[in-house]
Amino acid sequence: MNIIFHIGAGKTGTSSIQGSLRNSDNILVSKGIKYLGLMLEHAPVKLYEWQVPSANHIFQSLSMDEAQEQVYEVITQSILHFDKTGIHTLVWSNEWFWGRYDVVTNPLKILEKSGHKVSVVAYVRRHDAWAKSAYSQWGIKHKTYKGGLIPFNEYVENRPVKFYGVVKQWLEQFGENFIIRNFDSANDVVDDFLDAVGIDKEGIVKKRVNESLGPEEMLVRAIFNNVRANDVMPVAFDRLFHTIKVDFKRDPVEWMKSLLPSDDDLEEVEKRSEYDLREINYILEKRGQEKLSFDIKKYNREFTINHDIAYSILFQLIERQAVQLQKLRKDFMDLKKSIHE
């Protein structure tokens, strides 16, 4: 079996790689390749409760021996399951293991000694770009520390950006089978990954995941997280504001322009209305009325908004909601008091 273990690092297109592999499961299987997921949740055998996405905390609670034994068992049982099925390559991808090599290197080395080919794939990028992206993710969006938000310079002071120590450990363990790639030089990280591990790209359904926050979303998340004492998972903000219904990338002016008629749209109306225009004008002319004409164009106006007025409207709406929430709170407290009486 050919075992490919993609370890990140985080903020180097890992979500795009994982999403593309997940979306292409049927295609990959037809090529003899099985994507096992982040925590081996797509393995054909389900033996442990940590075999679900984002179950790192469960896995982390295991002792070193337990973790190694369980990883080895899931992979070896999967290999047995795929025996004589045409599957020749297993792909595992989880950036959480980037710096946690002790947990998985031993079972992977045993598999390697058993005759299976094990390759470990890692990506690195410019330290300054990585630090900026990491701060946006774990300093603001997913606040991983207590207290209010800390500025970038304080964040990186306590969390210096270093790749070499981790790379050195993987390199010492897997030598030529440790594949390190330059994220900055990859035009398309999904294509680069597939090329690096020798997977045919035909039919692969790519998933583009842009995890970078826009300035507007970064601001509102920062305000939300700053007043919370403990670390804050992004889902706390998402659930409160039901962000599945929110488009943080939408420019209201461009959005309205996409809804309103363009000059081409109205020209098309003219073409489709030629017969109707001619007949209506015939009647108008008979009754002594001026004929309708498309010669005078009154619709070529650019759509714009006054942002100050828009802000004023939003502030008024927020004030109205605050009044209603205050009344609801009073009604609730009165009801609570009456129940206890």
The answer to whether residue 330 scores a pLDDT higher than 90 is yes
Query: Do 132 and 258 belong together in one domain?
Result: no
Q: What is the pLDDT of residues 153-211, one digit of tens each?
A: 999 999 999 999 999 999 999 999 999 999 999 999 999 999 999 999 999 998 877 66
- End-of-domain residue from the set 212, 245, 278: 245
pLDDT, position 69:
96
- End-of-domain residue from the set 222, 245, 268: 245
Domain, as residue range, for 287: 250-304
Report the share of the chain in percent with pLDDT over 70: 98
The answer to whether residue 300 scores a pLDDT higher than 60 is no
Query: Do 294 and 312 belong together in one domain?
Result: no
Query: Do 254 and 289 belong together in one domain?
Result: yes
pLDDT, position 22:
96
3-state SS track over the chain: CEEEEECCCCCCCHHHHHHHHHHCHHHHHHCCEEECCCCCCCCCCCCCCCCCCCCHHHHHCCCHHHHHHHHHHHHHHHHHHCCCCCCCEEEEECHHHCCCHHHHHHHHHHHHHCCCEEEEEEEECCHHHHHHHHHHHHHHHCECCCCCCCCHHHHHHHCCCCCHHHHHHHHHHHHHHEEEEEHHHCCCHHHHHHHHHCCCCCCCCCCCCCCCCCHHHHHHHHHHHHCCCCCECHHHHHHHHCHHHCCCCCCHHHHHHHHCCCHHHHHHHHHHCHHHHHHHHHHHHHCCCCCCCCCCCCCCCCCCCCHHHHHHHHHHHHHHHHHHHHHHHHHHHHHHHHHHC
Query: Do 8 and 112 belong together in one domain?
Result: yes
Query: Do 168 and 279 belong together in one domain?
Result: no
Query: Do 239 and 268 belong together in one domain?
Result: no
State the CATH number of the domain containing residue 56: 3.40.50
Query: Do 42 and 186 belong together in one domain?
Result: yes
- Does 322 sit behind a cis peptide bond, omega within 30 degrees of 0 on the bond before it? no
Query: Do 82 and 117 belong together in one domain?
Result: yes
pLDDT bracket for residue 145 (50, 70, 90): very high
The answer to whether residue 85 scores a pLDDT higher than 60 is yes
The answer to whether residue 310 scores a pLDDT higher than 60 is yes
Query: Do 278 and 148 belong together in one domain?
Result: no
Query: Closest by alpha carbon to 190, among 174, 202, 206?
Result: 206
pLDDT, position 109:
96
The pTM of the full predicted model, rounded to 2 decimals, is 0.80
Q: What tokens does 165 get?
A: 């120590």
- Distances in Å between the Cα of 182 and the Cα atoms of 212, 256, 281, 298 are 19, 41, 69, 55
pLDDT, position 183:
95
pLDDT, position 296:
61
- End-of-domain residue from the set 219, 245, 271: 245
Phi, psi of 98 (to 5 degrees): -50, -55
What's the whole-number mean pLDDT along residues 284-297?
84
The answer to whether residue 248 scores a pLDDT higher than 80 is yes
What's the whole-number mean pLDDT along residues 329-336?
93
pLDDT, position 295:
73
Which residues fall within 8 angstroms of residue 134, CB to CB, at 6 or more apart?
Answer: 10, 11, 159, 161
Query: Do 152 and 267 belong together in one domain?
Result: no
What's the whole-number mean pLDDT along residues 210-228?
89
What's the whole-number mean pLDDT along residues 261-276?
87
pLDDT, position 301:
62
pLDDT, position 152:
95
Q: What is the pLDDT of residues 51-82, one digit of tens each?
A: 999 888 899 999 999 999 999 999 999 999 99
What's the whole-number mean pLDDT along residues 21-40?
97
Average pLDDT, the chain: 92
The answer to whether residue 284 scores a pLDDT higher than 70 is yes
Query: Do 138 and 184 belong together in one domain?
Result: yes
Query: Do 34 and 182 belong together in one domain?
Result: yes
pLDDT, position 269:
85
Q: Do residues 121 and 2 lie in contact, with contact meaning Cβ atoms separated by under 8 Å?
A: no
What is the domain count for the chain? Answer: 3
